[in-house]
Structure 1
Amino acid sequence: MKSSAKLILLHPSLHKQAGSGAGASHRIWVLVVFSFFASAFALAVITTRETISTSATATASSAAPKSPLPKPIFDALLHYAAATTANSSTASRMSSGELSSISAVLRRCSAPCNFLVFGLTHETLLWNSLNHNGRTVFVDESAYFVAKTEEKHPEIEAYDVQFTTKVSDLYGLLEHSKQQIRNECRPVQNLLFSDCKLAINDLPNHIYEVGWDVILVDGPRGFFPSAPGRMPAIYTAGVLARSKRGGGDETHVFVHEIDREAERVSSEEFLCSENLEESVGSLGHFVVEKMDVNSFEFCSNSSSLSPSSYTDD
């Protein structure tokens, strides 16, 4: 074929010498254009096949069920975390029993599990690992600590919150919530638009759209009167649980250091004694059910709180 083409182009007919150049040129351009479109068509077919193949692979991957962390790995992580805690003199770290209580719920939680944690602590990496293939989000009072944690561990999703509350204002804040229980401080609402003094309303919008299965309150600081206290985190956990979106009608809420006054009283007010599943060490485990939008009581038996002096012990 190639030798015939060259003969035609280089040896034009003697009867058409005058127009032979134009005719040859025309045939060359036709051949070039035809070759261009043929190449383009072939490239398009190849690209389309690759795209379809890649898309199919991605779809299959996303459609595949997400499996939880294998039990031996889960148990190993928990074992070494408990051993580290046992050898530590830091009081704020969780005990082996407290770690086991939370991990047991995470293990039962069908993947993917949505886990919200207030406080970046010694256990942060453990929680993120145990909730394998689930979504774990951390909220902390320190923007610096959040930035450093994400820089060192890019897999961690964390946000900082500026708290305006104080532990010393505990009973004033509770009184405000009672006065606004049918308005800004109601138990079922979108916290993003709430002006309740106890509501955490400045997280990214998408955080309020998640149906949280497990919530752990282990921050912010609450061991001295001018500390922010965990009242807003406990109130927010109670509202998120009662306003839960997505699958499941229950939310497991854990409150660490519940033996302190602010944590104990706030938990009784917003998580409720009737919802207390168990107490392990200084950890309270509540199971809070989703409520109707027209509900205006956190607990079936509202507590009558009276202020008491708060000390630094």
Structure 2
Amino acid sequence: MRPKAHKPFNSKLLILAVLVAFFLLFVLRSNLSTLNTEQEANPASTSQESHSQKSEKGGTDCSLSCQKIPPSLSQALIHYSTSTITPQQTVKEISVSAKVLAKKSPCNFLVFGLGHDSLMWSALNHGGRTIFLEEDEAWIEQIRRRFPTLESYHVTYDSKVKEAENLMEVGRGVECTAVGDPRYSVCQLALKGLPSVVYETKWDLIMVDAPTGYYEDAPGRMSAIYTAGMMGRNKESGETDVFVHDVNRDVEDKFSIAFLCESFMKKQEGRLRHFTIPSYREDSQNFQRPFCPPLPS
């Protein structure tokens, strides 16, 4: 999630456009909801109120139609308009997740990774809960000093990229395809040492953009991808949108297909894949379905 190089200036403008568009959608949705609620509650007074809001100079009272920018969004707009560092994901990749957030927010959003795009994700999920999991304690402290409102936790990984092939074989075993709570799983791929809030929250969206995975001794995202899929399956009801970044790399490509399932994949945009994982606990039929259902013929 941390950028390795500066993005062109036009990418920054496009990211700002995404944030502004989300804010306008937020304001419009809030205003329509407020107006409809008031009209339903007191339809007879609507006409009188509209006239009474006229000022002596012909203006209108802004109290019903105007809202302040949420502090989180204000901070994000200022940060991204003044920073020379922009997120590693492209605007097209970001737009995939942003569209889902626009429909589901405020919601519960879990992000593997903490970076320069974290403030953006938190702002796009205004009113919801966004949690970031990061492997680098020093980096967490640096980001906390700059953005103290972001909720982040340090996590450790005991896997390495060079072990991916063996872990893929392990993941095909019955102990890994049995649906259950990851913290109690006997599967070697399951992350069992995450903060308790991660296991106790019903996640609507999960983004896997960490841990580091671009060299052999890096932790890799094998366990993060597997655990994200298992959390979705083990949720009591509803679907979980899971996004995996850097699928141009071998681990992200193979593990997302194997454990999030090609049949659950909704879209791929550039290096980002979007999966929708159904609850396997919602009814007995779902619980009996294959770990990865076959693709429609």
| TM-score normalised to structure 2 length | 0.68
Q: Quickly say closer, same or farther: Cα 1:191–1:146, change in 2 above 3 A.
A: same
Question: 1:259: which partner in 2?
Answer: 248
C-alpha distance in 1, partners of 2:108/2:97?
13
> Which of 258, 272, 279 is matched with 2:261 structurally?
272
| 3-state SS of paired residue (1:272) | helix
> Which of 125, 129, 137 is matched with 1:143 structurally?
137
Q: Quickly say closer, same or farther: Cα 1:71–1:261, change in 2 above 3 A.
A: farther
Q: Show the 5 A alignment for 1:69-218.
A: 69-70=26-27, 93-111=88-106, 113-179=107-173, 181=174, 183=175, 185-218=176-209
Out of 155-164 and 73-82, give the one that drifted further.
73-82
C-alpha distance in 2, partners of 1:161/1:275?
28
- Equivalent pairs counted in the alignment come to 226
Q: Quickly say closer, same or farther: Cα 1:105–1:154, change in 2 above 3 A.
A: same
> Which of 247, 264, 289 is matched with 2:278 structurally?
289
Offset at residue 79 of structure 1 (A): 8.6
Q: Quickly say closer, same or farther: Cα 1:286–1:76, change in 2 above 3 A.
A: farther
C-alpha distance in 2, partners of 1:155/1:232?
28
Residue 213 of structure 2 aligns with an amino acid whose one-letter code is G
Residue 202 of structure 2 aligns with an amino acid whose one-letter code is G
Cα deviation, 1:150-175, whole Å, max 9, x if unaligned, reads: 34322111111111111111110011
> Which of 222, 225, 238 is matched with 1:249 structurally?
238
Q: Does the 8 A contact of 2:113 with 2:208 survive in 1?
A: yes
Q: Show the 5 A alignment for 1:224-235.
A: 224-235=215-226
C-alpha distance in 2, partners of 1:82/1:100?
16
C-alpha distance in 2, partners of 1:234/1:110?
23
Q: Does the 8 A contact of 2:105 with 2:126 survive in 1?
A: no
Q: Quickly say closer, same or farther: Cα 1:120–1:225, change in 2 above 3 A.
A: same
Offset at residue 77 of structure 1 (A): 9.0
Cα deviation, 1:256-291, whole Å, max 9, x if unaligned, reads: 111111000000111111111111111001111111
Q: Quickly say closer, same or farther: Cα 1:187–1:126, change in 2 above 3 A.
A: farther
Residue 193 of structure 2 aligns with an amino acid whose one-letter code is D
Residue 96 of structure 2 aligns with an amino acid whose one-letter code is S
C-alpha distance in 1, partners of 2:130/2:250?
28
Unaligned runs of 5+ residues in structure 2 are: 1-24, 30-68
Cα deviation, 1:200-249, whole Å, max 9, x if unaligned, reads: 1112223212110001000011111111111111001000110114xx51
| 3-state SS of paired residue (1:138) | strand
C-alpha distance in 2, partners of 1:220/1:169?
15
Question: 2:291: which partner in 1?
Answer: 298
| TM-score normalised to structure 1 length | 0.65
Residue 136 of structure 1 aligns with an amino acid whose one-letter code is T
Structure number with greater Rg is 1
Q: Does the 8 A contact of 2:242 with 2:274 survive in 1?
A: yes
Q: Does the 8 A contact of 1:213 with 1:252 survive in 2?
A: yes
C-alpha distance in 1, partners of 2:77/2:99?
13
Unaligned runs of 5+ residues in structure 1 are: 1-67, 303-313
C-alpha distance in 2, partners of 1:188/1:101?
28
Offset at residue 296 of structure 1 (A): 7.5
Q: Does the 8 A contact of 1:257 with 1:282 survive in 2?
A: yes
Offset at residue 120 of structure 1 (A): 0.7
C-alpha distance in 2, partners of 1:176/1:79?
45
Q: Quickly say closer, same or farther: Cα 1:76–1:205, change in 2 above 3 A.
A: closer
Q: Does the 8 A contact of 2:205 with 2:240 survive in 1?
A: yes
